[in-house]
Structure 1
Amino acid sequence: MELDAFDASLGQWPHLPFHCTGLLLGNGASRALWRNFAYDSLFERAQKVRNKPLGQTDLALFKSMGTENFEQVLSALNTTVRVNAALAISASAPLNRYYAIKEALIHAMRSAHIPFRLLPGEHLQAMARHLREYTTVYSSNYDLLVTWAVEQAPEGFDELFDVDLGFDVRRVRSDATRVLHLHGGLHLIRQVDGTTRKRNAVGSALLDGFAINQPGEVPLFVNEGRREDKLRAIRQSDYLSWCHAQLAQHQGPLCLFGHSLGEQDRYLLEAIEQAGVQQLAVSIFPLSDAWILSQKHYFTTLFAGREVQFFDATSHPLGAPSLNVPVPKPAVKRKR
């Protein structure tokens, strides 16, 4: 359809003609609450942080592996350290790089992520109440907002990890809401054997110590990067590959909130197509009439042949202006 076939009107979330059984969250959902989540690339941010940024040697490692994904590089360094130890070869160089990259990652994430102390409990409870309205919540964000919301009000959410916090694909699905982190998260750990466990921490400790793990363990999350890069990381993880398969089997209408389904996430579109989803509700933030028209054209083309309902993102419970937390201005140092 041509651009002039659309108008700039948007529906309101409460008045949509169908009920969505699934919710796919993108970066826009996090930005609605904390605008500092509007960074383009965590990899780029880690090169520019004030404290301990990625150095030239670190960047050379990422380049040699053809990736911008921290988890892949840290896992490779872990493997190198273990192999060197078995062969009685000095592991100091890869170990130093491992800690340097982890430190840059920590500073980059803390510079962007909302501190737990600034997030009102009533915000998290409001988020949890809405998330429980879906059968499955699929989040492609690796921040802790959804995790903190479920932690604040856990009733009604399905627990996919066993008593030892390990991921168990054999767990029986209940009628409770499942929250699946398609790209992992700061609350998840990739263990030495490749399996996944949830970190034994809550609240601010989840953010403060997300990269402080046992030897051989690394945070399990897929940061920004090429499509092929993300797919490789997903296939190498039992948890991520299972979550991706669940999206490809989704039943019922699906809501896209704050998600652009851009080229680097095209595999998510392919999973939605494989699931045969026929009704979609797509949020649009009303920046301008031109923006609304371009978004309508983009998603209508993307989901040709299916029913697509567009709604004002600010009318959605997760996009309500009342949930936004102002970012404090940095303190200005006075000259003496």
Structure 2
Amino acid sequence: MELDPFDAGLCAWPELKTTCNCTGLLVGNGASRAVWRNFAYDSLFERAQRVRNKPLGQTDLALFKSMGTNNFEQVLSALNTTVKVNAALAISSSSPLNRYYAIKEALIHAVRSVHIPWKLVQPTTLQTLNDELRNYRSIYSTNYDLLNYWAIMHNPEGFKDLFWADNGFDVSNTVTQGTRILYLHGGLHLIKNLDGSTRRRSATGSPLLDGFAINTPGDVPLFVSEGNAQDKLSAIRDSDYLTWCYGELASHDGALCIFGHSLGAEDQHIIHAIEQAGIKTLAISVFPLSEASIISQKQHYARLFIGQGVRLEFFDSTTHPLGAAELNVPVELLGPSKRKRSR
């Protein structure tokens, strides 16, 4: 039943999924927050300026400003290219490499301050996520964190992330069966090579997160964490992998479930891809904070797709497996000293 965006009524997911066969899932930050509330950061760029260990300095900030971006991937890529050019021209300046190390170090500490530690992720949580994700033909994630990847690797049979035996992505070799996971904004497990190609880091579990904290020369993490929609789209177009993933969303066939995604102004490129795909049914999660909040959220989504001929179905996010209360890991388990450092 299609619900009125001007009332506070919400479907329960088990009821809705029997009449709304979603072939795809668009998953956003709300899904990560359901597991670990520290994922509710406003800006990784802002957090990297406030971390206690090696925050971004004034010289680093000047680089971001000169490039007109808050996106780490763009700045680190530029520095990486500069280091290579300097070496080829026998220019002895160490400044670009020093800035590369400093910015990557600040990024590492910012990520550590928000990411759930591997030791706190329960196998039952990974299995719950795994069971739900495999219900879709295509999963489109805008999250850069490792939760979905860890969940898939917990029981990888039937999942495809389009990276092959050598951990490389090949745009000519993407026809596959099973559930596809596409990281629209990249992820902590992905690396951008100097030529714009993408590779996947080979580690799993705890080493995958721990290894991100190794400041390896030339390794540029591929994830788009900042900026407006146009900035994000520009970053996507600089990557063969992200460009392909975006094109897949823009050609998605079938109904789409949207979970934990606010679709704000900075996500206009995602909205455009959904419109381009001509998707006719969207099942959208709404967190039932209050009746007024429910109505406000429903009206927000209704305005986004007004005149598009899209059927909107709204459901209570807490009734969906990805929003189940038992998934939540209390931040208090970190201990007082680590909680203080993560603020």
Equivalent residue, structure 1, for 2:149: 147
State how far apart, in whole Å, the 2-side matches of 1:5 and 1:107 are.
Answer: 41
1:177-199 CA-to-partner distances (Å, cap 9, x unmatched) read: 00000000000011122110000
Percent sequence identity is 66
Equivalent residue, structure 2, for 1:290: 292
Instruction: Spell out the pairing of 1:51-130 with structure 2 (5 A cutoff).
Output: 51-130=53-132
SS of corresponding position for 1:164: coil
Instruction: Spell out the pairing of 1:151-300 with structure 2 (5 A cutoff).
Output: 151-210=153-212, 212=214, 215-300=217-302
Equivalent residue, structure 1, for 2:341: none
Displacement after TM superposition at 1:14 (Å): 0.9
1:138 to 2:140 alignment: yes
SS of corresponding position for 2:336: coil
SS of corresponding position for 2:188: strand
State how far apart, in whole Å, the 2-side matches of 1:159 and 1:255 are.
Answer: 19
CA RMSD of aligned residues (A): 1.5
Equivalent residue, structure 1, for 2:38: 36
SS of corresponding position for 1:84: helix
Please say if residues 85 and 91 of structure 1, whose CA atoms lie closer than 8 Å, have aligned partners that are also in contact: no
State how far apart, in whole Å, the 2-side matches of 1:211 and 1:191 are.
Answer: 18
Letter in 2 for 1:321: A
Displacement after TM superposition at 1:213 (Å): 6.3
Displacement after TM superposition at 1:246 (Å): 0.1
1:47 to 2:49 alignment: yes
Equivalent residue, structure 1, for 2:336: 331
Letter in 2 for 1:331: P
Displacement after TM superposition at 1:325 (Å): 0.7
SS of corresponding position for 2:244: helix
Between Structure 1 and Structure 2, how many residues are aligned? 330
1:321 to 318, 321, 325: 325
Equivalent residue, structure 2, for 1:307: 311
State how far apart, in whole Å, the 2-side matches of 1:254 and 1:72 are.
Answer: 31
SS of corresponding position for 1:318: helix
Displacement after TM superposition at 1:172 (Å): 4.6
SS of corresponding position for 1:194: coil
Displacement after TM superposition at 1:330 (Å): 4.3
Please say if residues 29 and 258 of structure 1, whose CA atoms lie closer than 8 Å, have aligned partners that are also in contact: yes
Please say if residues 130 and 317 of structure 1, whose CA atoms lie closer than 8 Å, have aligned partners that are also in contact: yes
State how far apart, in whole Å, the 1-side matches of 2:70 and 2:177 are.
Answer: 38
**Larger CA deviation: 170-179 vs 60-69:** 170-179
SS of corresponding position for 1:142: coil
List structure 1 runs of 4+ shifted beyond 6 angstroms: none
- TM-score, normalised via structure 1 length: 0.95
Equivalent residue, structure 2, for 1:6: 6
Unaligned runs of 5+ in 1: none
Displacement after TM superposition at 1:212 (Å): 3.1
State how far apart, in whole Å, the 2-side matches of 1:193 and 1:211 are.
Answer: 23
State how far apart, in whole Å, the 2-side matches of 1:96 and 1:214 are.
Answer: 12
Displacement after TM superposition at 1:159 (Å): 4.1
Change (3 A) 1:172 1:100: closer
Change (3 A) 1:207 1:187: same
1:15 to 2:39 alignment: no
**Larger CA deviation: 83-92 vs 108-117:** 83-92
1:56-93 CA-to-partner distances (Å, cap 9, x unmatched) read: 11000000000000010001001111111222212311
